[in-house]
Structure 1
């Protein structure tokens, strides 16, 4: 675990609908995105539902597409969203 840090977490599309918030500011000791997801899942059922299937989610760190094994050190914003479809 790392030193607790304040992080802005942003939710888009159905992730936002399941959680019921467009964004929130949280304090986390998570070292990676996957650790953060585990912290969020443990909060309450709506978070567990939103993060039940990580293959249906993408993540961006400070607005750059990333993956769930990425470290959170120095990251100010984590955004979760479903995969984009072309058209």
Structure 2
């Protein structure tokens, strides 16, 4: 399946691009992360500390064990703070 993957803030800086279309067979977000990490060192660095990341599926905040079936967009970003 093809999924649009968006990267924000320092995740985007480490990967070097704001978005990409990924062909994947991943069943969950974590499976997708593992696929991305195996691509290149920049992905491994960006996803080295998942406690510092949040994920949204089709613009809804989810967990890393969430299924990807039917998902069109995955976004990775650091936690947001208000003020």
How far did residue 86 of structure 1 move? Answer: 1.3
TM-score (norm 1): 0.95
TM-score (norm 2): 0.99
Corresponding residue of 1:69: 65
Unaligned ranges ≥5, structure 1: none
* Aligned residue pairs, count: 83
How far did residue 41 of structure 1 move? Answer: 0.3
SS at match of 1:39: helix
How far did residue 26 of structure 1 move? Answer: 0.7
* 4+ runs deviating over 6 angstroms: none
Measure, in 2, the Cα distance between the counterparts of 1:26 and 1:39.
10
Unaligned ranges ≥5, structure 2: none
Say what the alpha-carbon RMSD is for the aligned residues.
Answer: 0.3
Deviations 1:33-87 (A, max 9, x none): 0000000000000000000000000000000000100000000000000000110
